[in-house]
Structure 1
Amino acid sequence: MAKLTAKKIAEELNISPSTVSKVLNNKGNISEKTKQIVFDYIENNTPLFNHSMTVGVVVNNLNIEVYAQIISNLQKSLLKNNINVILMTTNYSYDEERSSFLSLIKNQVKCIIAIGTRYSSIYKDELHEIPIITMTHTNPIIDGEIYESIHSEEYIGSLLACEELITKGCKRIAFFTNAVILDEENNDRYRGYIDTLNKYNLLIDRNLIINSGTFSNNSIEDARMMVDYLLAKNIQFDGLFATSDRRALGALLSLQEHQIKCPEEVKVIGYDASSLSVSFHITSISQDGITISNNILYVILKLLNLNTEYLDFKNPSPVFLIRGKTT
């Protein structure tokens, strides 16, 4: 569709271009009826408002840097393809997550992208055949299957993190997470932790595996309390793998408060290689947010029968170890 201009709208509605311009700029004494006619024409003739070219995104928290990067890049790419995005944030709430899906269904989006969602909150029949693309460990559909899962090599990332600690001499490695489900089948970071300790014949001490679950969304404060707990219980550890940089920072701050030197006495590694890891020189695992967003874009364009020839589909996307000063 050709780009709409004031002249084009005026010709179609048999009014003057100046009238259209005044409506769009909210100037002049234009009747409400004329304004509504202009807005109705734009809504019905602009791809941005065309339901068939609108997708929905549900994300648990935009403060997670890699999620913000993925969504920002994805939104720009979709708009270049005349595809509108409706963004919903849930802040880890089951009710908000479910209402977000229902709102997007009501808006007749072409597909829904779930990023970091934590619950199975929607029934297959409620979706009315709207496909769901996920970047999350949890299937949002209670009684059905997702359309496509986009993810990074989280298992490899965990191996890299744990091997970094072990090769630096760590033998008792704590694992900090906030996973909804913590088992080797459903959580690649946890599976990587367990497999690496087994590979090097290190003791798997369940006292060193600490999960805040869904009780809090303040991961920095959570990790501070996790370290405080280990120290209060006199549980020895010389390495710490935190499944986010915020969690790693919280652990680092608690160690400093207890005058425990990092990395001399305890080595710490995070995940995501966010700006926090850069600012505090935390060793971390980098996810390739650009590749992840391009993978999501590829699936969406393919679903909408649009051109995907300029995109490389690399799923799962690679991860990298970025060394700081904490290991």
Structure 2
Amino acid sequence: MAVTLHDVARAAGVSIKTVSNVINDYPHIRESTRARVLEAIAELGYQPNLSARGLRSGRTGAISLIIPDLKNAYFAELADAVMRAAGEHDLVVMIQQSGGMRERELEVLHGPRMRMVDGVLFSVLALGQDDAHLLDIPTPLVMLGERIFNGPADHVTMKNVEASRAATEHLIGLGCRRILAFGAHENEVIGSAGLRLTGYKQAIEAAGRPLDESLIVNVGNWHRSDGAEAMRAALARGLQFDGLVAFNDSIALGAMRVLQEAGIRIPEDVAVIGFDDIDETRYSLPSLSTIDPGREEIARTAVSVLMERIADPASERPPREYEADFRVVVRESTMGRAS
């Protein structure tokens, strides 16, 4: 049987109203009484009914985070950062996966669970700029990621172009002459792959080098296995390179495994840098140089902006856009290479 407010009130020796006031953090409650209620809640394992609370107060104390795929380490670590940021505001986070599929993104965004949350953080992958009108929903919404700019919602993202350019410039500064752009998506302009390819091209052009299209390697999905498969194919066709800018860390790690299996030394023969600064990059052999895209800042900013919209849903303040700062993190996969 589920523990009820009545059970907590009886165990603490107070009224149900007092228990409710403690749960909702009302002031003017004796600290001794608050402590007794909280102790009873902990001992009984009481869990507030968010739906019932929402009916009474108009708030559930929960937000939704919609992400493409928790198997992608970046999104798993982003979810962790969002949950910690939300916890500072006493919010719980409902995580939903879209699989990066248009139908699922729309289903989640317009589904009945939206009535269970006060606001939504939405990392969109499949919807495009022409779908901006579909984001005009009653629930406060903050966009994450690289799609649908200038839409009806606040938007928090990273400096994809500038960061990818900095990663490429890092390898150029080490003396790399033939640098792979690893992780492109064919014909993509807007989106992580398209923007990071733009940054790569800018760095090559600024260095006064001609763009070699053969050095742009498409990687359909961005998991380790996809990076490994794409690298095997590149080596099989005899592609020559001495530097690799991977558009995320997972495909960089997959590519590094294949390079090492082929007897190619990192960084002596090929210098490698990734993007995302996932935790695993610190412990790979060699440890992976990467771009820290400001994930913690993205999470804190997104939650803070969403809280503002939740507090004042009738605000006519126009949508805002935020870009987190980034930094180049130099580790063993590029460190020590002779320039």
What range is the shorter-chain TM-score in?
A: 0.7 to 0.9
Mapped contact 1:133–1:146 kept (Cα < 8 A): no
Name the % identity: 19
- Find out whether 1:157 has 2:163 as its counterpart: yes
Q: CA RMSD in A?
A: 3.7
TM-score (norm 2): 0.73
| Unaligned residue ranges in structure 2 (runs of 5+) | 21-35, 313-319, 335-339
Which of 174, 178, 196 is residue 172 of structure 1 equivalent to? 178
Distance 1:235 1:177, change over 3 A: same
How do 1:159-308 and structure 2 match up within 5 A?
159-177=165-183, 179=185, 182-183=188-189, 187-213=194-220, 216=221, 219-280=223-284, 281-305=287-311
| Unaligned residue ranges in structure 1 (runs of 5+) | 28-37, 307-312
**Alpha-carbon offset, residue 275 of structure 1:** 1.9
Deviations 1:180-225, CA, capped at 9 Å, x for gaps: 8622798331111010000012221222212233xx46x2111112
Distance 1:46 1:128, change over 3 A: closer
Distance 1:11 1:253, change over 3 A: closer
- Tell me the equivalent position of 1:33: none
For the residues of structure 1 that align with 2:91 and 2:202, how far apart are their CA atoms? 42
**Alpha-carbon offset, residue 11 of structure 1:** 7.3
Distance 1:178 1:205, change over 3 A: closer
How do 1:121-132 and structure 2 match up within 5 A?
124=133, 127-132=136-141
Distance 1:229 1:53, change over 3 A: same
- Find out whether 1:135 has 2:144 as its counterpart: yes
Residue 114 of structure 1 aligns with an amino acid whose one-letter code is: F
Mapped contact 1:171–1:202 kept (Cα < 8 A): no
Higher RCO (CA 8 Å, separation ≥ 6 residues): 2
Mapped contact 2:66–2:121 kept (Cα < 8 A): yes
- Tell me the equivalent position of 1:97: 105
SS of the residue aligned with 1:177?
strand
Distance 1:247 1:104, change over 3 A: farther
**Alpha-carbon offset, residue 54 of structure 1:** 4.0
**Alpha-carbon offset, residue 131 of structure 1:** 4.5
Distance 1:71 1:224, change over 3 A: closer
TM-score (norm 1): 0.76
Deviations 1:71-122, CA, capped at 9 Å, x for gaps: 3333344344344432211233333323221225652644321125333496
Residue 209 of structure 2 aligns with an amino acid whose one-letter code is: L
SS of the residue aligned with 2:272?
strand
- Tell me the equivalent position of 2:30: none
